[in-house]
């Protein structure tokens, strides 16, 4: 019965497996400072699809990181590029020279020119679609696959939940594979989205405490102690000074951020700062904060970006074991239905 359930699971995510070239249609979201060569290679070697986070890397550093990842795995993996990166065109060329087969464009709506150049270089292009109208636009622009990510995710988030995005987009977008992300921590949830029409799912938070993750032990401990309610979006103090919401574990830095906003805005109102300087000072508060937490282990003053699935991260374990658990949970759910039928 379990074998039959596993076959049905493979059928459900066959489109995603075929697109990614993997045994499992499970991507690891690109997390800056966390999704580097060791974790990416471990996930790909475990049957999933690792995605290298370029973040703020320059072309030379990205080229070296891709080469180092290729030395650790012969399996497919992707590279995530931020569309607002000032050297995006050069980074695209680096991916082409390294023969990267999959590139994920994130952090804004990519141009049709960027998508076309990547495809001309032989890459399959995946884009993030925060709304149905943008999903359709990206498909028209040449995107080979989409990721729809809900507000339960860690890091920068949009306003709509994963479940609502899935209901809006999955029935309407059939031309390309669509992967669902945001708040997913168990195999049963993956199964539910596959049955709604997803090609696979993307998880990030679940892999932060993988054995192969280079995240600082204190960063991992913060995840292991946290509950879903601890992962909250950043608070904007004044609508006149917009703040892009970021979901992270509440710590002294998140509370200090509210104080800093209030202080800066008060100085602006008093005529001590112009609007642009005030906005920049607010935005620069978090500069380097993620690295301080992930690499240096400063969990008081750094940013603890985490999705609401953090409560399902209960121990440090190998990436392959995490992937196996997710599959076992999905298969068990299918097998339970068979027994009940």
Q: In the predicted model, what is the mean pLDDT of residues 56-68?
A: 97
| Residues of the domain holding 231 | 227-305
Q: Are residues 318 and 301 in the same domain?
A: no
Q: In the predicted model, what is the mean pLDDT of residues 279-285?
A: 91
Q: Are residues 280 and 334 in the same domain?
A: no
Q: Are residues 30 and 124 in the same domain?
A: yes
What confidence tier does 162 reach under pLDDT thresholds 50, 70, 90?
A: very high
Is residue 38 situated within a structural domain?
yes
Is residue 221 situated within a structural domain?
no
Is residue 323 situated within a structural domain?
yes
The predicted structure's pLDDT at residue 1: 64
Chain centroid to Cα 58, Å, comes to: 20
d(CA 7, CA 3): 6
Q: In the predicted model, what is the mean pLDDT of residues 45-54?
A: 98
pLDDT exceeds cutoff 90 at 244 = no
The predicted structure's pLDDT at residue 339: 86
Q: Are residues 256 and 322 in the same domain?
A: no
Chain centroid to Cα 300, Å, comes to: 23
Give per-residue pLDDT as tens, 172-227. Answer: 999 999 999 999 999 999 999 999 999 999 999 999 999 999 999 999 999 999 99
Is residue 220 situated within a structural domain?
no
Is residue 172 situated within a structural domain?
yes
Q: Are residues 231 and 209 in the same domain?
A: no
Average pLDDT, the chain: 96
Q: What share of the chain is helix, strand, coil (3-state, %, to 5)?
A: 50, 15, 35
Q: What percent of the chain has pLDDT over 90?
A: 96
pLDDT exceeds cutoff 70 at 289 = yes
Is residue 219 situated within a structural domain?
no
CB-based contact 130:95 (threshold 8 Å): no
The predicted structure's pLDDT at residue 163: 97
* Tally of structural domains, the chain: 2
The predicted structure's pLDDT at residue 338: 84
Is residue 239 situated within a structural domain?
yes
Q: In the predicted model, what is the mean pLDDT of residues 111-129?
A: 97
In terms of residues, how long is the chain? 341
CB-based contact 249:222 (threshold 8 Å): yes
Is residue 281 situated within a structural domain?
yes
Q: Are residues 162 and 92 in the same domain?
A: yes
> Which residues have a Cβ under 8 Å from the Cβ of 34 and sit 6 or more positions away?
53, 207, 208, 213, 214, 215, 294
Q: CATH number, domain at 116?
A: 3.20.20.70
Give per-residue pLDDT as tens, 291-330. Answer: 999 999 999 999 999 999 999 999 999 999 999 999 999 9
Q: Please state the pTM of the whole predicted model.
A: 0.95
Q: Are residues 180 and 251 in the same domain?
A: no
pLDDT exceeds cutoff 80 at 341 = no
CB-based contact 220:44 (threshold 8 Å): no
d(CA 156, CA 233): 9
Q: In the predicted model, what is the mean pLDDT of residues 9-20?
A: 98
Q: Are residues 178 and 297 in the same domain?
A: no
Q: In the predicted model, what is the mean pLDDT of residues 264-275?
A: 94
Q: Are residues 287 and 321 in the same domain?
A: no
Q: Are residues 208 and 253 in the same domain?
A: no
Chain centroid to Cα 146, Å, comes to: 13
Q: Are residues 330 and 277 in the same domain?
A: no
Q: Are residues 237 and 208 in the same domain?
A: no
Q: What percent of the chain has pLDDT over 70?
A: 100
């Amino acid at each position: 019965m379990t074998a039959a359930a596993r076959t049905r699971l493979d059928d459900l995510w066959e489109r995603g497996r075929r697109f990614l070239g993997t045994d499992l249609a499970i991507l690891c979201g690109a997390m800056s400072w966390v999704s580097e060569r060791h974790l990416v290679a471990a996930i790909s070697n475990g049957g999933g699809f690792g995605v290298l986070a370029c973040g703020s890397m320059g072309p030379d550093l990205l080229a070296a990181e891709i080469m180092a990842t290729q030395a650790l795995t012969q399996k497919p993996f992707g590279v995530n590029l931020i569309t607002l990166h000032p050297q995006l065109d050069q980074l695209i060329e680096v991916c082409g020279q390294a023969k990267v087969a999959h590139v994920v464009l994130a952090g804004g709506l990519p141009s049709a020119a960027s998508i076309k150049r990547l495809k001309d270089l032989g890459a399959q292009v995946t884009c993030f679609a925060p709304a149905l109208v943008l999903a359709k636009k990206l498909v028209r622009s040449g995107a080979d696959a989409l990721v729809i990510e809900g507000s339960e995710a860690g890091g920068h988030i949009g306003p709509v939940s994963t479940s609502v995005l899935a209901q809006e987009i999955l029935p309407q977008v059939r031309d390309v594979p669509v992967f669902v992300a945001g708040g997913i921590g168990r195999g049963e949830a993956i199964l539910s989205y596959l049955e709604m029409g997803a090609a696979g799912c993307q998880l990030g938070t679940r892999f932060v405490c993988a054995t192969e993750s280079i995240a600082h032990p204190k960063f991992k401990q913060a995840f292991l102690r946290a509950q879903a309610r601890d992962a909250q979006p950043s608070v904007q103090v004044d609508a006149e000074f917009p703040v892009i919401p970021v979901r992270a574990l509440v710590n002294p830095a998140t509370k200090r951020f509210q104080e800093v906003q209030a202080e800066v805005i008060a100085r602006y109102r008093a005529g001590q700062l112009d609007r642009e300087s005030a906005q920049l000072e607010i935005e620069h508060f978090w500069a380097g904060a993620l690295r301080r937490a992930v690499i240096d282990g400063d969990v008081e003053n750094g940013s603890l970006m985490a999705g609401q699935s953090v409560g399902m991260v209960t121990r440090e374990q190998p990436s392959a074991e995490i992937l196996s658990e997710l599959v076992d949970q999905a298969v068990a759910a299918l097998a339970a239905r068979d027994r009940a039928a």
